[in-house]
Structure 1
Amino acid sequence: MIGFLLVALGGMAGALSRFGVQKLVPQTVLPVATLTVNLLGSFLLGWIIGQGIQGNLYLFAATGFMGSFTTFSTLNVDVVKLINNKQRRAVAVYLASTYFGGLLSAVAGLFIGRLL
């Protein structure tokens, strides 16, 4: 039962943090706020794993917080909007930034997490 509570509390914190980033990061042609949370989330999740965090802290931080902080569904909606607006170059930049940046962020977080 404690696991469900930890995931729920982490999810609430992650959702509120994501909302804060959406409000703070100015929108441009690219959905920069979504890109920011996805890259930061990739890094942080890599760091959590690199630190070897497990158990209740993992449920709170990785499953709960990171699960609601980052989002794949919003990324896809943003891409569809860019396609509908015929922003082909922005689609390519956004997808490349998200996927390659996300991979690099996760690797960096994993590496730094293992160092600390």
Structure 2
Amino acid sequence: MGASLFAIALGGALGALSRYGIGQWVMQAWPKAFPLATFAVNLIGCLIIGILYGLWSSRPEFSPMLRQGLFVGFLGAFTTFSTFSLDALRLMENGEGLMALAYILLSVCVCLLATWAGLSLVR
């Protein structure tokens, strides 16, 4: 348990620093109104989680601790959108298309509403 927590913490620190670094670089290189930094991080995170999920699916001998460090730690701090995307994809792969659509729509719409509600509470 202690080694897994260390792997998650280390991955989380590296993911957060990577997100910050990429965000700063994108904002300096392309300062526009469109949130390109967040979009870039989400896109990169989704590509990475797809690659890693594919690797782990075909190579189960890979270390579970490394998986936790990368999936939960690094990608969890880098972007939670990648996990959301993988969850939706897994539902689709399992033939749960309607459930996937509901998950996507509810996640986006309800989370936007929750963000608005939280902001409204403090304004």
- Where structure 1 has 5 or more consecutive residues not aligned to the other structure, the ranges are 73-98, 107-116
Residue-pair matches, total: 77
Displacement of 1:71 in angstroms is: 4.1
RMSD: 2.4
Say if 2:59 is the partner of 1:48: no
Report the counterpart of residue 29 of structure 1 in structure 2: 33
Q: TM-score, normalized by length of structure 2?
A: 0.56
Larger RCO: 1 or 2 (CA < 8 Å, sep 6+)? 1
Q: Give the greater-gyration-radius structure (CA).
A: 2
Report the counterpart of residue 66 of structure 1 in structure 2: 75
Displacement of 1:37 in angstroms is: 0.5
Q: Which residue type is aligned with residue 65 of structure 1?
A: F
Tell me, in whole angstroms, the C-alpha distance in 1 between the residues paired with 2:45 and 2:63.
Answer: 17
Aligned residue for 2:32, secondary structure, equals coil
Tell me, in whole angstroms, the C-alpha distance in 1 between the residues paired with 2:3 and 2:36.
Answer: 35
Tell me, in whole angstroms, the C-alpha distance in 1 between the residues paired with 2:33 and 2:80.
Answer: 19
Tell me, in whole angstroms, the C-alpha distance in 2 between the residues paired with 1:8 and 1:55.
Answer: 15
Displacement of 1:67 in angstroms is: 0.3
Report the counterpart of residue 109 of structure 2 in structure 1: none
Q: TM-score, normalized by length of structure 1?
A: 0.59
Deviating above 2 A after TM superposition, structure 1's stretches of 4 or more consecutive aligned residues are: none
Report the counterpart of residue 95 of structure 1 in structure 2: none
